[in-house]
Structure 1
Amino acid sequence: MTGTATSTAMPQYSVLMPFTPSRPEQALPYAALTQWTGAHRLWQGQSSVGEPHQTFAYMAASGFRVPAGTGVTVMPLRHPYEAALQAQSLAVTMNHPVVAGFGPGAGILQKNLLGAPYRSQLGACREYVTAVRGLLDGEAVDLDGEFFRVRGRLPVQPRPEVEVGLGVLRPGMARLAGEVADTAITWLTPAGYLRDVVVPALEEGAARAGRARPRLVAMVPVALAADGREPTDVALASNSAHMSLPHYRDMLRRSGIDVDMETDPVASAKALIEGGAFVYGGPLDIAEAFAEYRSAGVDEIVLNVSGVFATTGTRTALKELETLLREVLS
């Protein structure tokens, strides 16, 4: 980690599972793609269909052991001890490094599962990430916090490295990640916003804690221009749910992108593309866009072709990922 706002090293390029598998064998082509290409890591987001840790375990049993990332799994689903145990078990199962990413989830989810939203999103995240990191480090954790109670030690097994990540959209969470997380994970965040807002906040938090800036991982929705492909359709298929959530709308507004999904979804998608939150174009256009992410300080770019998958299916999504990894990002 450089501790500076500008990264001079080439970022690593990883792959996001562009859908939530209902059967674990559906994930195997993406595991194979990651294992057989230059992709750095395979990521899965939170799913209420197929549990990501179990899907990764199925990959390993099928002969595909790759670096893995869970980003981000939502905290109300798992006690910190269970989260640390799952992360460690995944690293042992895959025999590769793991990024275990966490986030508080939407307020309505917190209310539905816990009875009420966290009084402080930042306070809950601080307790959770600190406890998980301590358990993975083999510490005897004794936390009697406002949001979580953890008293115990996790027997540490020989395993590859596990990074504890925190989902980041806005400056407050970025400062917290700078203090307590190994990795900051962003979604739908333009390069300029990362450079001007997120990275300085990460560095501020890291300086406060007397540590190096966490690694920065950007999950970037992307699609290659193609005949018959309408970019706004792909952007909406990938991001309409996020563009409807208040905290994403606020982040986009801070980055200069105004979206209003109720009034005009197509105009909102156009704004997303024009503002660089959704990367679309030919190979040279995409290479230039990712160069901006590199100069902004991003250490790992995760290729999110979920819009391609949703509009044209898994074969096209796999071909798109192969093309990006081979031609655009080489």
Structure 2
Amino acid sequence: MTKYSIMMPFMPTRHEQALPLAALVASGAADRLWQGQALMSEPYQTFTYAAASGFRIPVGTAVTLMPFRHPIEAALQAKSLAVTTGHPVVAGIGPGAAILQKNVLGAPYRSQLGAVREYFTIMGGLLADREVELRGEYFDCRIGLPSLPGPRVELGAGVLRPKMARLAGEVADVAITWLTPPKYLRDVIVPELRAGAEAAGRPMPRLVAMVPVALTAPGRDPAKLVLAGNTGHLSMPHYQDMLRRSGIDVDQPDPTAVAKNVIEGGAFVHGDISEVRDRLVEYAAVGVDEIALNLTGVCQVEGLPSALADLRAMLPELTR
């Protein structure tokens, strides 16, 4: 049965701003709280603050970026967070855009797949309490971490395109997608995940989809919500390539036209509660194990109370 979770729809400037969302998960309305990479309140610290405030809930990162954190530090942080929350943690990791890699590291990774493979080899080994020795092109490591009793940490890979999906099938516990229509997941991502897993002789990773969504409401313009929540993603070459592969025309000079194509192509879910439920069932039908409801557009345009109102209206209908 597909689970429903919540994507934090903003970057907190103060940790306490996340507590209403943590409380919603703690109430049992949703399975997990996710947060993406933030440059203000760091996700691991936000989740720790929530736990210290009484909301010890399942959490996940979708996704934190490799250039900001060595895999040893990433493994240590994730293991510590699992102990702090008392629940399994999904440590979602991605390489980030090439321009980010250049700005942080001085140059982009020569091979995105090669860098991810090395990072996951180190981090995955440390999470499994193994001694890791790797002299790679991107990372050097000869270390083990002391065993830390606590809930499991699942290693998640940010996945958009076929080759990364196949690699995730080989090395990740969870594959995490963003802005990906169901038909693209069915036709491209799931087959590649399965092929990678079979080649490595391991189970196929769980599939988690971050789905931008909004309910219809008076005065709401869905195209405006798409742009408010996804303009940055729509400007990145790897997202544009994924959307083109999905059959969505993103090569329009008018951003509103692009946003409308995103809606028509199924990458943004919009409608009344019944329509939203039917659209999200399509994700479940193609093999998505967990859907994270992403109300970023609503939050950016109307504020967190409106995003929470949408979540409180949708979740009981989706999980009944």
Q: TM-score, normalised by structure 2?
A: 0.99
Which residue of structure 1 aligns with residue 297 of structure 2?
307
- Aligned with 2:134: secondary structure? strand
Which residue of structure 1 aligns with residue 119 of structure 2?
128
Aligned 8 A contact 2:66 2:95 in 1:
yes
Offset at 1:37? Answer: 3.0
CA distance in structure 2 between the partners assigned to 1:215 and 1:301 by the alignment: 11
Offset at 1:329? Answer: 3.9
Offset at 1:113? Answer: 1.2
Structure 1 residue corresponding to 2:26, chosen from 23, 31, 35? 35
- Aligned with 2:57: secondary structure? coil
Which residue of structure 2 aligns with residue 90 of structure 1?
81
CA distance in structure 1 between the partners assigned to 2:308 and 2:56 by the alignment: 18
Structure 2 residue corresponding to 1:169, chosen from 160, 176, 184? 160
- Aligned with 1:270: secondary structure? helix
Matched, 1:280 2:266: no
- What is the count of residue pairs matched by the alignment? 320
Deviations along 1:190-240, one digit per CA (max 9) or x if unpaired, are 000000000000011011101111000000000001111111111111111
CA distance in structure 2 between the partners assigned to 1:259 and 1:224 by the alignment: 24
CA distance in structure 1 between the partners assigned to 2:77 and 2:62 by the alignment: 14
Offset at 1:79? Answer: 0.7
Offset at 1:260? Answer: 3.4
Matched, 1:205 2:196: yes
Aligned 8 A contact 1:222 1:305 in 2:
yes
Offset at 1:157? Answer: 1.0
- Map 1:135-150; keep pairs closer than 5 Å: 135-150=126-141
Give the letter for the 2:267 counterpart: A
CA distance in structure 2 between the partners assigned to 1:251 and 1:113 by the alignment: 24
Structure 1 residue corresponding to 2:237, chosen from 225, 228, 246? 246
Give the letter for the 1:31 counterpart: A
Give the letter for the 1:321 counterpart: L
Offset at 1:328? Answer: 3.7
Which residue of structure 2 aligns with residue 268 of structure 1?
258
Aligned 8 A contact 2:4 2:318 in 1:
no
CA distance in structure 1 between the partners assigned to 2:199 and 2:8 by the alignment: 35
Offset at 1:327? Answer: 2.3
User: After TM superposition, what 4+ stretches of structure 1 lie above 2 angstroms from structure 2?
Assistant: 327-330
- Aligned with 2:260: secondary structure? helix
Structure 1 residue corresponding to 2:14, chosen from 8, 20, 23? 23
Give the alignment's Cα RMSD to 1 decimal. 0.9
Offset at 1:108? Answer: 1.2
CA distance in structure 1 between the partners assigned to 2:76 and 2:241 by the alignment: 34
Which residue of structure 2 aligns with residue 47 of structure 1?
38
> Unmatched 5+ residue regions in structure 2?
none
Structure 2 residue corresponding to 1:218, chosen from 203, 209, 212? 209
CA distance in structure 1 between the partners assigned to 2:81 and 2:293 by the alignment: 22
Identity %: 63
Which residue of structure 2 aligns with residue 3 of structure 1?
none
Deviations along 1:172-201, one digit per CA (max 9) or x if unpaired, are 000000000000000000000000000000
Matched, 1:237 2:214: no
- Aligned with 1:123: secondary structure? helix
> Unmatched 5+ residue regions in structure 1?
1-9
Offset at 1:97? Answer: 0.7
CA distance in structure 2 between the partners assigned to 1:326 and 1:283 by the alignment: 10
Matched, 1:106 2:106: no
CA distance in structure 1 between the partners assigned to 2:76 and 2:190 by the alignment: 30
Matched, 1:69 2:65: no
- Aligned with 1:15: secondary structure? strand
Offset at 1:291? Answer: 1.1
CA distance in structure 2 between the partners assigned to 1:90 and 1:73 by the alignment: 14
- Aligned with 2:18: secondary structure? helix
Aligned 8 A contact 2:162 2:189 in 1:
yes
Which residue of structure 2 aligns with residue 185 of structure 1?
176
Q: TM-score, normalised by structure 1?
A: 0.96
Aligned 8 A contact 1:37 1:325 in 2:
no
Aligned 8 A contact 1:170 1:251 in 2:
yes
- Map 1:285-304; keep pairs closer than 5 Å: 285-304=275-294
CA distance in structure 1 between the partners assigned to 2:28 and 2:225 by the alignment: 25
Aligned 8 A contact 2:155 2:174 in 1:
yes
Deviates more, 1:48-57 or 1:170-179: 48-57
Offset at 1:256? Answer: 0.5
Give the letter for the 1:113 counterpart: V
